[in-house]
Structure 1
Amino acid sequence: MGDVKNGNVWLILAREYRQRIRTRSFQVITALGFVLILASAFAPAVLDRVQSATGGSTVAVVQPEPGLVETLRTALPEELPNGEPRTEIQAVDSRNAAESGVENGDYDGLLISQGSGSTRSAQSGETSYVYRAPQPGAEADRIQEALSGVAAEQRLQEAGVSGEEAAGVFAPAQLEVEATGGGPSGEEFQATYWLVYVLVFLLYMTVIQYGNMVTMSVITEKSSRITEMMSASVRPVDQMAGKILGVGLLALTQYGLWLAAGIGSLVIGRARGDGLGFGLDAVSPATIVLFLLSFVLGYLLYASILGGLGSLFSRMEDAQQIIGPVIMLLLAGLLITIFSMSSPDGALATVGSYVPFFSPMVMFARAELGSTAGWEIALSYTLLAATVAAAVWAAARLYRTGTLMYGKKPSLAEAARMVLRG
């Protein structure tokens, strides 16, 4: 990719970086992402306040049987963050008044029990739940679960089974989930899964964004004849190298700011005793290093290809016919990664992690979620680095020829011949 020791490469890199970092769109997106990531530390507290402000549900019970109200309250112990019950049970005497209350919004639902005897309707199933259309929400499910528990307890008591004996019978079996090969398991896997999902999608979006930025830069300068004027003093390969490295440095700047916000968010979340499902332990230094390596190599691969192909065109609209298939390759890598995340050691993930066009995302996910050996990771990234070197070599040849071409729209076959002829 040109001679990085060449002063021209650094001049173009600095020019590209300064020009892009001053754009309003980059500043707004970067600042917005920074604020949103940092604000995520306070999301649990905000959700708690919203839940507390909106309050729980109130369910009316018409002429309840003796003990039913207290039994339901005991069976529905869940509380809001402010300590109030999520489901408040109230006894009412008039069904008509209770139904009017449901229509008016005074009650969220109406429980009508029939039969006689202490909470007998729960056991016999002679209970109905009235709600305001169109949806009963989750309240009906909670009521049904509570009634089922009450009915089961009644049947056990009638069969002569004490509460302690019943608790022993229904006690869940203890099962420890452990993965072979040192991979994450159980709750750790779930936390790592969602972290990897977010990072893979971020990787996909930023490679597309900054790869297209390189393409647009190349096409814009070619259409305005700037490239021709610069070619008198700067080699085309140095021009391309400066553009790719300058835009890549811009991406790393954005990543650095977002990473700082993410670490700050996790630190604040841990200090507050809450979070969004994963803690600092899920974001190890090895994860950050592997993610940045995946981005750098993935970006260099696709930016080189897109920059080289972009040099063949003078308008972005014309370039879409040949750039589209490249973007589809990246999209295929994202889909393979998503499909294989639930089985990171499966055949699809294993094969995809050795295909350089897919491996920046697939191998990153596999290394984080599966039991991948060190030599497999090394082999995957070695193949990726070799493909990056080949893509840079081919892009340099395309750029040298393409920046002087005008008018004709070349096909992929013609582009391949340009690479071979040099």
Structure 2
Amino acid sequence: MNKFWIVLFHTYLMKLKTKSFLITTAVMLLLVIGLSNITKIIALFDDSEEKVGVIDQTGTMFGDVQLGMKAIDEDVELIELKTEEEAEKLIDSEKLTAYLMIKSDEQEIIKGTYKANTLADTTVSSELAVVLSQLKTKIIANELQLTDKQIAALHSPVVLDTVAFEENAKTEEELNQARGLVYIILFIIYMAVIMYSNMIAMEVATEKTSRVMEILISSVSPVQQMFAKILGIALLSLTQMLLFFGGGYWSIKRNLSDMNEGVFSFMGFGSTSMSTIVYAIIFTLLGYFLYATLAACLGSVVSRIEDVQQTITPMIMLVVAAFMLAMFGLNNPSATYITVTSFIPFFAPMIMFLRVGMLDVPFWEISLSIGLLVASIVILAVFGARVYKGGVLMYGSAKSLKNIRKALQLTKKD
């Protein structure tokens, strides 16, 4: 058993000290901190104020447009101009970013023309369109002699209450918050499974290429090697995840007041339940062990590092398929295909977590899915250990199915 721990910690420490791991960890940590500070970063590079010229050919609209724009966006300053030539000169000298020309048509209804060097940023033009639409409605309402109360009733949105028959069903607001948080965790599961499973396959193939494996198996059994490497990489991933989540948590706590608006309002940072976090950890670990065991098997039948990607491609496609199904299921987590695939072991880590995060799933369904996952890991571990035992000493072309069969035959001979 001491040899098992030696291989485990050797795998962990060797990977921990590599430049690729250190650089990747540093870059990802900076990315996590950067995303949690995105509002401050945008504000740092964003121009404080935009100046837009207004040519009012009607002679009566500028004051109303200015008031309406100030109510929508205080960072946009409107400047009244007389001619287009004057506006174009100010744009050429970069004193204006754009200009708006207001006129009325034959029915005396206002219309506008917005001109700028580029139309890539539609924020200001969209805001001006809203202001002009409001003025147009006001003009037509005055012509029809509508009262303020009638105008307010005309613009008031329809009230549509959504009610679920299930007692513990989440509200629409809770679902929207859960959707954002589930998306983030699904992406973490997806990246963790692909990155660390690929790392295990590469580790095994690298040792075979350097013939280190022939030395190792003389002192440590292949089965001990396989599980030591899987747990060593798991320990490495745990170290990396703790750094990511620790840095992210620290940064989010410092910026929580700025993360209640915009896209962050849909992430549900302030209303995350402990059960969601627990299930996220459970399904991430189970997904890792399922795919890590498969990756170790596939890596053991590869003779060259160049053949690793080709051999593990079917496994990667399974992970991608699960992730794509989860993305489609975000908008309809109660769909039949989501329910069915949540019990398929290779899809369950993502799909069942999607259901748990967004729906009130019966505990027996969660238990059944976890039970099937654990059973699949055990079966794959037993089968994988047999393949690994024979595969570590195989050298030749990378034909996965034939190599797996040969590996099993070599194991039987032992």
Fold similarity call, TM over 0.5? yes
Tell me how far 1:122 sits from its aligned partner: 11
**Does residue 76 in structure 1 map to residue 60 in structure 2?**
no
Which structure 2 residues correspond to residues 284-295 of structure 1 after superposition, within 5 A?
Answer: 284-295=273-284
CA separation of 1:24/1:178 partners in 2, compared to 1, >3 Å: closer, same or farther? farther
Residue 118 of structure 1 corresponds to none
Which consecutive unaligned segments of at least 5 residues does structure 2 have? Answer: none
Q: Distance in 1 between matches of 2:309 and 2:83?
A: 70
> Do structure 1's residue 307 and structure 2's residue 296 form an aligned pair?
yes
SS of corresponding position for 2:85: helix
Distance (Å, rounded) in 2 between the aligned partners of 1:180 and 1:415: 52
The 3-state SS of whatever aligns with 1:124 is coil
Q: Are 1:38 and 2:27 an aligned pair?
A: no
Aligned partners of 2:211 and 2:20: how far apart in 1? 25
Identity %: 29
Structure 1 contact 103–132 (Cα < 8 Å) conserved: no
Structure 1 residue 316: Cα displacement: 1.9
Paired residue for 1:58? 52
Contact 2:202 2:308 in 1 (8 A): no
Which runs of structure 2 are paired with 1:378-417 in the superposition (5 Å)? 378-416=367-405
Q: What is the CA–CA distance in structure 2 between the aligned matches of 1:184 and 1:65, rounded to whole Å?
A: 53
**Greater Cα shift, 272-281 or 144-153:** 272-281
Task: After TM superposition, give the deviation of residue 267 of structure 1 in Å.
Answer: 1.7
| 2:5 aligned partner | 10
Checking the alignment, whether the CA contact within 8 Å between 2:342 and 2:348 is kept in structure 1 is yes
Call closer, same or farther: CA 1:123–1:243 in 2, change over 3 Å. Answer: farther
Matching residue's letter, 2:21 = F
Work out whether 1:222 is the aligned partner of 2:208.
yes
Shift of 1:180: 5.4
In 1, the alpha carbon distance for the partners of 2:333 and 2:207 equals 43
8 Å contact 1:340–1:346 — kept in the other structure? yes
CA change 1:114–1:312 in 2 (3 A) is closer
Residue in structure 2 matched with residue 322 of structure 1 by the alignment: 311
| Alpha-carbon distance, 1:99 to partner | 3.5
SS of the aligned residue for 1:112 comes to strand
Q: Which residue of 2 aligns with 1:132?
A: 116
- Give the Cα–Cα distance (whole angstroms) in 1 for the partners of residues 289 and 120 of structure 2: 53
Look up the match of 1:3. none
- Assess, with a 3 A threshold, how the Cα gap between structure 1 residues 272 and 159 changes in structure 2: closer, same or farther: closer
Match of 2:344, SS state, is coil
State the secondary structure of the residue aligned to 2:70.
Answer: coil
Secondary structure (helix, strand or coil) at the match of 2:381 reads helix
Q: Secondary structure at the match of 2:141?
A: helix
Within a 5 Å distance, the mapping from 1:101-180 to structure 2 comes to: 101-114=90-103, 124-135=108-119, 137-138=121-122, 139-179=124-164
Q: Alpha-carbon deviation of 1:404?
A: 1.8
Normalised by the length of structure 1, the TM-score is 0.87
* 2:184 match: 198
Deviation at 1:252, TM superposition (A): 1.1
> TM-score, normalization: structure 2?
0.89
**1:356-395 Cα shifts (integer Å, max 9, x gaps):** 1111111111211233222111111111111111111111
Question: Structure 2: which amino acid aligns with 1:156?
Answer: A
The correspondence for 2:341, drawn from 352, 359, 380, is 352
> Which range moves more in the overlay, 221-230 or 375-384?
221-230
- One-letter amino acid of the structure 2 residue matched with residue 60 of structure 1: V
**Counterpart AA for 2:6:** L
> Partners of 1:41 and 1:123 in 2: how far apart?
51
User: What code does the residue aligned with 1:348 have?
Assistant: Y
Distance 1:413 1:134 in 2: 60
How far, CA to CA, are the matches of 2:379 and 2:62 in structure 1? 74
Give the CA deviation at 1:130.
4.1
Please tell me whether residue 263 in structure 1 is matched to residue 252 in structure 2.
Answer: no
Question: Over aligned residue pairs, what C-alpha RMSD do you find?
Answer: 2.6
Pairwise CA distance, 1:183: 4.5
Structure 1 residue runs without a partner (length 5+): 1-5, 116-120
- 1:234 aligned to which of 216, 220, 238: 220
Q: Which moved more, 1:28-37 or 1:134-143?
A: 134-143
Question: For residue 299 of structure 1, what is the amino acid of its counterpart?
Answer: Y
The partner residue of 1:48 within 43, 56, 61 is 43
For the residues of structure 1 that align with 2:107 and 2:277, how far apart are their CA atoms? 56
Deviates more, 1:16-25 or 1:38-47: 38-47
Give CA deviations for 1:260-294 in whole Å, capped at 9, x if unaligned: 22222332222567463334334332222212211
1:284-311: per-residue Cα shift (whole Å, max 9, x none)? 3222221221121111111111111211
Give the corresponding residue for 1:280. Answer: 269
Question: Secondary structure of the residue that 1:77 maps to in structure 2?
Answer: helix
Q: Kindly tell me: are residues 123 and 88 of structure 1, through their superposed partners in 2, closer, same or farther at Cα, counting changes over 3 Å?
A: farther
- Which is further off, 133-142 or 357-366? 133-142
